[in-house]
Homo-oligomer: A and B are copies of this chain.
Amino acid sequence: MKIGILGLGLIGGSLGFDLRSQGHDVFGVSRRDSTCAKAIALGSVNQASVDISLLAATEIVFICTPLGLIVPQVEQLIQHLDATTIITDVGSIKAPIVRAISPLWNYFVGGHPMAGTADIGIEAAQPNLFVGRPYVLTPIHTTPSAAVAVVEKIVRSLGANIYHCQPEQHDRAVSWISHLPVMVSGSLIAACMSEPDPEVLQLAQKLASTGFQDTSRVGGGNPELGLMMAQYNRSALLNSLQQYRCNLDELIDLIEQENWASLEEKLQLNHQVRPNFLK
């Protein structure tokens, strides 16, 4: 197939490697000439250009830009495409994107590959990035099933595990397991820093070990990512945060009331159910 990739970063570049290795013709578009040159030199794409019209001849386009650019780029892109060209994206939040693009383009299938590394950019791109990783597709009732089938076939060829759900269900699920942890973990760091006795704060910093380090890791991560989660998934995240606050309040009440039997029951339940979230 002739496959377009708009946005040649870690995800777009890695996608290119896998698709080319399967014999597809891969056309890449980036905002920067230097990125286009790198993508060609690395072998991630057959052709690349800063001119979006390069994608006119493709049968399917993967939108791999940062989240905030997906909708504006699609608006530009569709001026160059045949009406049956399939568009799919890799954005980490789905409802606002599906809501914005569906009225503009019938052959659109929302997607979210849950793969990545700590690095970014075409230099970090690698073959087989999606093998064994979840890849969520969020078609809606108006999405042509033929378009979904094409996207599915390509995603399956990447070695990813496909999940289907509504865009809103996706956003709620990732709010629980990805966005809420960032806020919970960040608040832990902020709370510790509020210790008024400098000797105690310094001692806490010296004594902190793997327990604190693991619990605070995502909260101390890239601030732009955390901000993006809150901005684009605001209502699902607020719902998760309110629910989290209720659970925390219950725990505080039990400790205040010295209700040790109920506290132990709660801790026991957390211990029992956590393995359901592990592979």
Residues of chain A touching chain B, judged by Cβ–Cβ distance below 8 Å, are: 114, 134, 136, 163, 165, 169-170, 172-174, 176-178, 180-195, 197, 199-200, 203-209, 211-224, 226-227, 230-231, 234, 237-238, 240-249, 251-252, 255-256, 258, 260, 263-264, 266-271, 273-278
Taking the closest CB of chain B, its distance from the CB of A88, in whole angstroms, is 18
* Chain A interface, DSSP helix/strand/loop, else mixed: helix
A227: which of B222, B263, B273 is its contact (CB, 8 Å)? Answer: B263
Which of A184, A209, A219, A267 lies at the interface centre, i.e. has the most chain B CB atoms within 10 A of its CB? A267
Taking the closest CB of chain B, its distance from the CB of A192, in whole angstroms, is 5
Taking the closest CB of chain B, its distance from the CB of A12, in whole angstroms, is 21
Give me 5 other A-B pairs in contact (C-beta within 8 A), A193-B273, A227-B267, A241-B252 excluded: A169-B203, A173-B200, A181-B211, A187-B248, A213-B277
A248-B248, A251-B187 given; A214·B212 CB < 8 A: no
A203: which of B170, B197, B219, B247 is its contact (CB, 8 Å)? Answer: B170
Which residue of chain B has the shortest Cβ distance to A224 in the bound complex?
B264
What is the bound-complex CA distance between A163 and B223, given in angstroms?
A: 34
Contact A216–B251 (Cβ < 8 Å):
no
Write out the residue numbers on chain B whose beta carbons fall within 8 Å of the beta carbon of A169.
197, 199-200, 203
Taking the closest CB of chain B, its distance from the CB of A130, in whole angstroms, is 13
A173-B200, A207-B173, A220-B274 given; A248·B255 CB < 8 A: no
Contact A255–B243 (Cβ < 8 Å):
no
What is the bound-complex CA distance between A264 and B229, given in angstroms?
A: 11
Contact A260–B193 (Cβ < 8 Å):
no
Contact A186–B251 (Cβ < 8 Å):
yes
Write out the residue numbers on chain B whose beta carbons fall within 8 Å of the beta carbon of A268.
223
Write out the residue numbers on chain B whose beta carbons fall within 8 Å of the beta carbon of A134.
206-207
Contact A247–B190 (Cβ < 8 Å):
yes
Write out the residue numbers on chain B whose beta carbons fall within 8 Å of the beta carbon of A206.
134, 163
What is the bound-complex CA distance between A253 and B172, given in angstroms?
A: 20
Which residue of chain B has the shortest Cβ distance to A252 in the bound complex?
B241
Contact A277–B212 (Cβ < 8 Å):
yes
A208: which of B165, B170, B177, B251 is its contact (CB, 8 Å)? Answer: B177
A183: which of B165, B185, B193, B251 is its contact (CB, 8 Å)? Answer: B251
A169-B197, A270-B190 given; A216·B277 CB < 8 A: yes
Taking the closest CB of chain B, its distance from the CB of A30, in whole angstroms, is 26
A247-B191, A248-B183, A255-B238 given; A177·B223 CB < 8 A: no
Contact A188–B197 (Cβ < 8 Å):
no
